[in-house]
């Protein structure tokens, strides 16, 4: 649970349901030794998935297990493969150790880009413990319940020209084109949003699920993984200081709870059929 300096690198709340919610881009801390090599821009942690622990507070009440990191994605991106391979070939994206922000602002001082040894160190110190905890909790929940849902909680600004044109749909579900969850899961969740009204939704559009969804989602083995990339404009201010908007969030929270419970019900139904 700790890095070499004894600072916790993740927090795991263990629940009673066959449900694990992972929020791999929630962290905002940057260890001092790494921060010393970085630009002032990095300290803003602009590309954090802000406030998702607050938005998903219902999950603990429901009985979900919840896994969150301490450190910012600028330290290491927990939703990238350990070899740093691009999950969206032909499209621009950020890597295992991002070197710039979503707006292409440099994260490192001149001459301080991480070398291979530093990449390996951070992978071992920060990436591996999170994934060990994730795999262990998945195994424990599957052993107890026989089947389970891994919900990957993410958020992003509604406009990021580097990654997509125009405004992003509000709810972006990813199931690796159907490979990481029960058939039709992503489409059913998007349809629920559309029926709810007031929000837009898409399944397996620009965001099909990152490394965690693709790696751990094995529906044939009883582990169903869904990623939700939520547009931040639905619940917060998208500019500094990135404030939580309680009025907007109060409208989104019940829908999020309905989506998670619906997905869990579909997992049980799919495995029982």
Cβ burial, residue 136 (10 Å; 0-12/13-18/19+): exposed
CATH superfamily, domain 10-272, is Zn-dependent exopeptidases (3.40.630.40)
Q: What is the pLDDT of residue 93?
A: 74
CB-CB contact of 25 with 49 (8 Å): yes
CB-CB contact of 26 with 68 (8 Å): yes
Minimal CA–CA distance to 108: which of 186, 192, 30?
Answer: 30
Q: What is the pLDDT of residue 135?
A: 98
Q: How many CB atoms lie within 10 A of CB 210?
A: 24
The token duo for 208 is 């099909």
Q: What is the pLDDT of residue 92?
A: 66
Q: How many angstroms separate the Cα of 154 from the Cα of each of 68, 97, 100?
A: 11, 18, 19
Minimal CA–CA distance to 226: which of 247, 212, 244?
Answer: 212
Q: How many angstroms separate the Cα of 70 from the Cα of each of 5, 48, 82, 192, 252?
A: 13, 12, 19, 33, 25
Q: What is the pLDDT of residue 143?
A: 96
Residues sharing a CB contact under 8 Å with residue 81, sequence separation 6 or more, in sequence order:
87, 96, 211, 215
Compute the distance between CA of residue 22 and CA of residue 100 in angstroms, rounded to an integer.
24
Q: How many angstroms separate the Cα of 208 from the Cα of each of 15, 88, 202, 238, 258?
A: 27, 9, 10, 23, 21
Compute the distance between CA of residue 109 and CA of residue 238 in angstroms, rounded to an integer.
26
CB-CB contact of 41 with 107 (8 Å): yes
* pLDDT digits (tens), the chain, 273 positions: 445 456 899 999 999 999 999 999 999 999 999 999 999 999 999 999 999 999 999 999 999 999 999 999 999 999 999 987 776 666 767 889 999 999 999 999 999 999 999 999 999 999 999 999 999 999 999 999 999 999 999 999 999 999 999 999 999 999 999 999 999 999 999 999 999 999 999 999 999 999 999 999 999 999 999 999 999 999 999 999 999 999 999 999 999 999 999 999 999 988 554
Q: Enumerate the domain spans of the chain.
A: 10-272
Q: What is the pLDDT of residue 85?
A: 75
């Amino acid at each position: 649970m700790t890095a070499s300096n004894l600072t916790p690198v993740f927090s795991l709340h263990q629940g009673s349901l066959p449900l694990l919610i992972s929020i791999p881009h929630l962290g905002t801390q940057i260890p001092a030794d790494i921060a010393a090599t970085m630009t002032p821009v990095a300290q803003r942690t602009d590309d954090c998935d802000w406030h998702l622990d607050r938005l998903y507070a219902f999950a603990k009440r429901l009985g979900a297990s919840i896994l969150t990191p301490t450190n910012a994605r600028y330290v290491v991106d927990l939703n990238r493969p350990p070899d740093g391979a691009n999950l969206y070939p032909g499209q621009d994206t950020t890597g295992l150790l991002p070197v710039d922000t979503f707006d292409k602002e440099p994260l490192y001082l001149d001459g301080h880009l991480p070398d291979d040894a530093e990449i390996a160190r951070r992978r071992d110190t920060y990436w591996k413990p999170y994934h060990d905890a994730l795999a262990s909790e998945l195994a424990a929940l599957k052993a107890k319940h026989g089947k389970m849902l891994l919900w990957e909680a993410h958020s992003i600004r509604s406009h990021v020209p580097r990654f997509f044109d125009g405004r992003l749909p509000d709810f972006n579900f990813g199931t690796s084109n159907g490979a990481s969850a029960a058939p039709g899961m992503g489409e059913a969740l998007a349809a629920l949003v559309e029926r709810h009204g007031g929000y837009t939704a898409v399944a397996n559009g620009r965001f099909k699920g990152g490394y965690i969804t693709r790696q751990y989602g094995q529906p044939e083995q009883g582990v169903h993984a869904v990623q939700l990339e939520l547009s931040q404009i639905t619940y917060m201010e998208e500019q500094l200081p990135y404030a939580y908007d309680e009025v907007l969030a109060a409208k989104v929270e019940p829908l999020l709870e309905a989506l998670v419970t619906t997905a869990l019900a579909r997992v049980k139904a799919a495995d029982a059929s």
